[in-house]
Amino acid sequence: MTAETICHTLLSQFPTVNFNQESLPFVDSLDKVEAAVGEINRAAASSGLAPLVFTTFVEEEYAVVLSRANARIFDLFDPFIGRMEESLGQKSSHQPGQAHGIANILQYNRRMSAVNYAMHCDDGLHTQEYGSADVILLGVSRSGKTPTCLYLALHFGFHVANYPLTQDDFVHGRLPESILVHRDKAFGLNIDASRLHQIRQERRPGSEYASLKQCREDVELARNLFERYRIQHCDSTSYSIEELGSTIKHQMGLHSELY
Amino acid sequence: MTAETICHTLLSQFPTVNFNQESLPFVDSLDKVEAAVGEINRAAASSGLAPLVFTTFVEEEYAVVLSRANARIFDLFDPFIGRMEESLGQKSSHQPGQAHGIANILQYNRRMSAVNYAMHCDDGLHTQEYGSADVILLGVSRSGKTPTCLYLALHFGFHVANYPLTQDDFVHGRLPESILVHRDKAFGLNIDASRLHQIRQERRPGSEYASLKQCREDVELARNLFERYRIQHCDSTSYSIEELGSTIKHQMGLHSELY
């Protein structure tokens, strides 16, 4: 996926160009490289344009075969590996990375266990298992807790629970004991009230729950709780799930064992 | 996250180097760039080595400030943007990408809805809602269905259900009607029997369920079902969740609306 993610970012730098994107995953044999060349050449012929082709080959022979295609080739690693070799004073291994592979059973188990934990402890369920959490995400309904937890689990293998702050917590002005005993693992997600209003409107249009007034109140009460208990928090409004995940990892001082 | 993922792959090309990795997310103001320079210089001073710094700045002024750090700077976009501008005959926008942002409400809703769907239709639940699936993943217990579904939901915004093949399906030698009516959306995950045995051993050590014999049988029966019903399938054993996700997207001819 690395190549695909980077490509999307690169292509998004040319917002007026309407790219026709195709991904060719698992090009991991010379036969498949030949087939890819055929596919690229057909695309070139039918469009009359040389396709931009982004690759992450570490095998030099694949790159040689691909270079025969009627295309502009962008090797996503090549510009860096040489300078890294020079900086580090050693040659690279030229091995494809398998950081996340099911091929790597330990890492796979860690991710599986993290995903199971996130689902098991989603939305305030099983608070008695907060002892094994790396992070407990707190936030009002629809502040982005669940996708952020799943991202942290899948991407880094962290055990992340999430707990929805509700009227109950606000009325008492106090967090439940299950969280207080693990306060050092808690992290708050907040969100702009009008954005929250938009998101909740999708779910329950016209409801009291989705009203701007209610959203403002919820967001304000959540912030008060985070501040009273000195819980680290951030505003999710203008960040992507990936950015939120990265911020939480950084602010909580977590290190992933997947890498 | 783009930068972090690419970096991990690049660093993994130097397996004998023990890198001390730090990420500095959200360096999105000149003040933060200055702070990053301070942090990099402290790391350089304490290690006696110039850190390798990977960046994805699109703002040129940030790059200028960062270039004062005692570090080797690797701009992850710079080597490509120039050649892309030349190939496309136009200048890039130099805007940071926000493809996944909560900032982008439509895309955020799509991802949220996909994550909710994946959780709602996990492990054979709510088969009556397969009508709105993009993909229905089939496979034996512990073949990697749940993390693959969540990845497809989070990363591409696809609605992916998963259904566990069990003795019940094998005894009847037939898939349930809820799947047969949506056979064109079905995709099978298979896995090497000895790998499955390892994974199941983690979960229920010494059980009949985890025995190599049972795993061999399950895998074989699953393959028979995929073949009888001509369901596209792949072997998840040596692939990462990212690679599986990308393969399923490609083989099922799906296009993500997140990009």
pLDDT at B72 over 60: yes
Average the pLDDT over A156-181 and give the result: 93
Mutate: best of B80, B109, B234, partner A, most A CBs <10 A: B80
- Rounded Cα distance between A241 and A213, Å, is 26
Q: Which residue of A has its CA nearest to B23?
A: A250
Q: What is the pLDDT of residues A118-138, one digit of tens each?
A: 999 999 999 999 999 999 999
Mutate: best of A32, A81, A102, A104, partner B, most B CBs <10 A: A102
Which residues in chain B touch residue A247, judged by CB atoms under 8 angstroms apart? 25-26
Sign of the Cα pseudo-torsion (A192, A197, A203, A209, in order): positive
Which residues in chain A touch residue B103, judged by CB atoms under 8 angstroms apart? 237-240
Which residues in chain B touch residue A240, judged by CB atoms under 8 angstroms apart? 98-103
- Rounded to the nearest angstrom, the minimum Cα separation between B3 and chain A is 8
Helix (H, G, I), strand (E, B) or coil at A37: helix
End-to-end CA distance of chain A: 16
Q: How many CA atoms lie within 13 A of B117 on its CB side?
A: 27
pLDDT at A213 over 90: yes
pLDDT at B90 over 90: no
- Structure-block tokens of residue A255: 């290190």
Q: What is the pLDDT of residues B170-190, one digit of tens each?
A: 888 899 999 999 999 999 999
Q: Which residue of A has its CA nearest to B81?
A: A10
Contact B111 A21 (CB under 8 A): no
Contact A84 B74 (CB under 8 A): yes
- Rounded to the nearest angstrom, the minimum Cα separation between A238 and chain B is 4
Which residues in chain B touch residue A116, judged by CB atoms under 8 angstroms apart? 146
Burial A105-128 (b: 16+ CB within 10 A, else e): eebbbbbbbbbebbbebbebeebe
Give the pLDDT band of residue B100 (cuts 50, 70, 90).
very low
- Whether the complex's predicted ipTM is more than 0.90 is answered with no
Alpha helices by DSSP H, listed for chain A, are 2-11, 30-47, 60-66, 78-88, 105-120, 145-156, 167-172, 177-180, 193-203, 212-228, 241-251
To 5 degrees, how large is the angle CA B233–CA B238–CA B241?
A: 75
Contact A8 B99 (CB under 8 A): yes
- Rounded to the nearest angstrom, the minimum Cα separation between B68 and chain A is 17
Burial B114-146 (b: 16+ CB within 10 A, else e): bbebbbebbebeebeebeebbbbbbbbbbbbbb
Q: In the beta sheet, which residues pair with residue B165? A: B140
Which residues in chain B touch residue A24, judged by CB atoms under 8 angstroms apart? 250
To 5 degrees, how large is the angle CA A123–CA A128–CA A130?
A: 70
Which residues in chain A touch residue B111, judged by CB atoms under 8 angstroms apart? 147, 241
Give the pLDDT band of residue A251 (cuts 50, 70, 90).
very high
Which residues in chain A touch residue B13, judged by CB atoms under 8 angstroms apart? 58, 77, 81, 84, 92-95, 97
Amino acid found at B18: N
Nearest to A15 by CA among B57, B61, B91: B91
Cβ-nearest to A241 among B84, B92, B154:
B154
Q: Helix-strand-coil percent breakdown of chain B, rounded to 5?
A: 50, 10, 35
Name the average pLDDT for chain B: 89
Cβ-nearest to B239 among A87, A101, A242:
A101
- For A20, A62, A164, B156, the CA distances from A33, given in Å and listed in that order, are 20, 6, 49, 25
Q: How many CA atoms lie within 13 A of A170 on its CB side?
A: 16
Contacts across the A-B interface (CB distance below 8 Å): 237
- Rounded Cα distance between B146 and B12, Å, is 27
Mutate: best of B7, B9, B154, B192, partner A, most A CBs <10 A: B9
Cβ-nearest to B103 among A93, A102, A238:
A238
Residue B95 is predicted with a pLDDT of 66
pLDDT at A1 over 50: no
Give the pLDDT band of residue B203 (cuts 50, 70, 90).
confident
Which residues in chain B touch residue A56, judged by CB atoms under 8 angstroms apart? 9
Cβ-nearest to A119 among B109, B112, B119:
B119
Q: Which residue of B has its CA nearest to A86?
A: B72
- Rounded to the nearest angstrom, the minimum Cα separation between A162 and chain B is 14
Q: What is the pLDDT of residues A14-70, one digit of tens each?
A: 888 888 888 887 788 899 999 999 999 999 999 999 999 998 877 788 999 999 999
Residue B126 is predicted with a pLDDT of 97
Residue A232 is predicted with a pLDDT of 96
Q: For the range B64-68, what are the long-range contacts, defined as Cβ-Cβ under 8 Å and sequence gap of 24 or more?
A: B65/B30, B65/B33, B65/B34, B65/B37, B66/B33, B66/B36, B66/B37, B68/B37
Which residues in chain A touch residue B82, judged by CB atoms under 8 angstroms apart? none
pLDDT at B111 over 70: yes
Residue B14 is predicted with a pLDDT of 86
Cβ-nearest to B14 among A9, A12, A84:
A84
Fold of A105-251: Rossmann fold (3.40.50)
Q: Which residue of B has its CA nearest to A102?
A: B240
Q: Which residue of B has its CA nearest to A14?
A: B92
Give the pLDDT band of residue A259 (cuts 50, 70, 90).
low
Helix (H, G, I), strand (E, B) or coil at A226: helix
pLDDT at B98 over 50: no
Nearest to B14 by CA among A181, A81, A114, A177: A81
Contact B14 A259 (CB under 8 A): no
Q: How many CA atoms lie within 13 A of A239 on its CB side?
A: 24
Domains of chain B, residue spans: 2-88, 105-251
Q: What is the pLDDT of residues A63-106, one digit of tens each?
A: 999 999 999 999 888 888 888 898 888 888 876 554 444 446 77
Q: In the beta sheet, which residues pair with residue B189? A: B234
